[in-house]
Amino acid sequence: MPALVLLGAQWGDEGKGKATDLLGGSVDYVVRYQGGNNAGHTVVVGDQKYALHLLPSGILSPGCTPVIGNGVVVDPSVLFSELNGLNDRGVDTSKLLISGNAHIITPYNVTVDKVTERFLGKRKIGTTGRGIGPTYADKINRVGIRIQDLYDESILTQKVEAALDGKNQLLTKVFNRRAIEVGQVVEELLGYADRLKPYVADTVLVLNQALEQDKVVLFEGGQGTLLDIDHGTYPFVTSSNPTAGGACTGAGVGPTKISRVIGILKAYTTRVGSGPFPTELFDEDGEALRRIGGERGVTTGRDRRCGWFDAVIARYATRVNGLTDFFLTKLDVLTGWEQIPVCVAYEIDGERVEELPYSQTDFHHAKPVYEYLPGWSEDITKAKTFADLPKNAQDYVKALEEMSGAPISAIGVGPGRDETIEINSFL
């Protein structure tokens, strides 16, 4: 019954796609359990580079069934364009399964996301503008539209009416925008129904039966721990639960079924959008990390904010997710620095603090306390085993492991599929 959760241990973009894809060959199901097309995975297979936003990255592994769970929000137009793009490149996508309970990102959710951000001005969250937050808000407000609603026109119309009732008041009276017509939305949504139909399934049943049959199921988190609506740097977060518990609710699998929780951890730190980031760099080192690491958002094309590794955050990720392992990514990006600062604690209002403060005010005041580890200059991209790494790189990894509270079981030393050092097998 191997059920693995793979999730971002920082603010997302840690390189999950590579990790999922690496496991894909031995995994029977890859499941997304939250988020939507705000995620961005770049997966490199041979000389081909694939950018995925909504589809689980297991879609690139022929033996694997990709699943979009009930906790995901789905924009059908994005789904189809992603499927078309893969089909054009010869990838078979026919095995995809989508939960009938997953919520649909409607065109009005995208509109509300954009106008809300504009309205917030300098207090904006810096969302991806894909309608994620408003779709989850509708879900919680019980006026959401689910995939299964596309197969009952009368129900769909009633639900769209209910959802638009309040929103049109808001759009016209507060945001000064035109009202959205129910009929137009219903027509657009119904237009997706036939093409979606073959993929729609009772994914909760499928996944639980798969686990009973000892199949390997991989739950793939979008975004990252610090973007979690409950455990992240609220309000600068996404509107779902990327943390390990989200895999259970977002896929309908009980916590007793999860055997391993793997945190993807970048060898330094990045973040997109607004919000606190204690180790952020505003100098040439930050510029160099961005350039060498290719730190530009796959989904939004925005430059990522870059900074040194933060062990306080890694420890927090271990705790809140119950991590059993780390997959350390992008170690090669750090090649060439004489010494590498690592944040081991914070100084908050003159006091040294070892753990992530629960208070937002304190976290906004946190200044990094650095330890300086010796760097390396050798090319590490060809390293196949831990012993192939230069001593200082080995020591950097060991130091991170000790500070972060879980074993580092794999290390990414380059973007390619085979540029990974496996220390302990995940299966």
Q: Which residues make up the interface to ligand IMP (CB under 6 A)?
A: 11-13, 38-40, 125-128, 130, 132-133, 222-223, 227, 236, 238-239, 272-273
Answer whether 326's CB lies under 8 Å from 9's CB: yes
**φ and ψ of 2, to 5 deg:** -75, 110
User: What is the rounded distance in angstroms from the CA atom of residue 161 to the CA atom of residue 282?
Assistant: 48
Answer whether 11's CB lies under 8 Å from 227's CB: yes
Give the Cβ contact number of residue 366 at 10 Å: 22
| Residue number with CB closer to ligand IMP (13 or 332) | 13
Which is nearest to 22 in space by CA: 418, 423, 424, 291? 418
Residue 42 annotated as part of some ligand binding site: yes
* Strand 269-271, strand 305-307: pairing: antiparallel
Residue 303 annotated as part of some ligand binding site: yes
Residue 266 annotated as part of some ligand binding site: no
| Residues β-bridged to residue 392 | none
Residue 332 annotated as part of some ligand binding site: yes
Q: Can 139 be counted among the known catalytic residues?
A: yes
| Residue number with CB closer to ligand IMP (40 or 58) | 40
Which residue in the list 53, 75, 138, 139 is annotated as catalytic? 139
Which residue in the list 13, 75, 113, 310 is annotated as catalytic? 13
Q: Can 362 be counted among the known catalytic residues?
A: no
Question: Angle, nearest 10°, between helix axes 311-321 and 391-404?
Answer: 50
Instruction: Go through 34-61 and write b for each residue having 16 or more CB atoms within 10 A of its CB, e for each that does not.
Output: bbbbbbbbbbbeeeeebebbbbbbbbbb
Residue 41 annotated as part of some ligand binding site: yes
| Residue number with CB closer to ligand IMP (22 or 125) | 125
**C-alpha dihedral, 327 to 328 to 329 to 334, nearest 10°:** -170
Tokens of 68: 């979009």
Q: Can 398 be counted among the known catalytic residues?
A: no
| Residue number with CB closer to ligand IMP (76 or 242) | 242
Closest approach of ligand IMP to the CB of residue 113, in Å: 7
User: What is the rounded distance in angstroms from the CA atom of residue 5 to the CA atom of residue 31?
Assistant: 9
| Residue number with CB closer to ligand IMP (228 or 401) | 228
Point out the residue whose Cβ comes nearest to ligand IMP. Answer: 273
Answer whether 395's CB lies under 8 Å from 372's CB: no
Tokens of 293: 């690491």
Closest approach of ligand IMP to the CB of residue 241, in Å: 12
Closest approach of ligand IMP to the CB of residue 41, in Å: 8
H or E element at residue 217: strand 217-220
Closest approach of ligand IMP to the CB of residue 118, in Å: 14
| Residue number with CB closer to ligand IMP (34 or 420) | 34
Closest approach of ligand IMP to the CB of residue 131, in Å: 8
Preceding amide of 198 cis, omega within 30: no
Closest approach of ligand IMP to the CB of residue 127, in Å: 4
Residue 128 annotated as part of some ligand binding site: yes
Which residue in the list 21, 28, 41, 53 is annotated as catalytic? 41
| Residue number with CB closer to ligand IMP (238 or 404) | 238
User: What is the rounded distance in angstroms from the CA atom of residue 154 to the CA atom of residue 161?
Assistant: 11
Residue 71: exposure state from Cβ atoms within 10 A (0-12, 13-18, ≥19): buried
Residue 383 annotated as part of some ligand binding site: no
Closest approach of ligand IMP to the CB of residue 111, in Å: 14
Residue 295 annotated as part of some ligand binding site: no
Which is nearest to 22 in space by CA: 424, 423, 399, 422? 422
User: What is the rounded distance in angstroms from the CA atom of residue 416 to the CA atom of residue 370?
Assistant: 31
Residue 17 annotated as part of some ligand binding site: yes
Binding-site members for substrate are 298-304
Catalytic positions: 13, 41, 139
Binding-site members for IMP are 13-16, 38-41, 128, 142, 223, 238, 302
Binding-site members are 12-18, 38-42, 128, 142, 223, 238, 298-304, 330-332, 412-414
Binding-site members for GTP are 12-18, 40-42, 304, 330-332, 412-414
Binding-site members for Mg(2+) are 13, 40
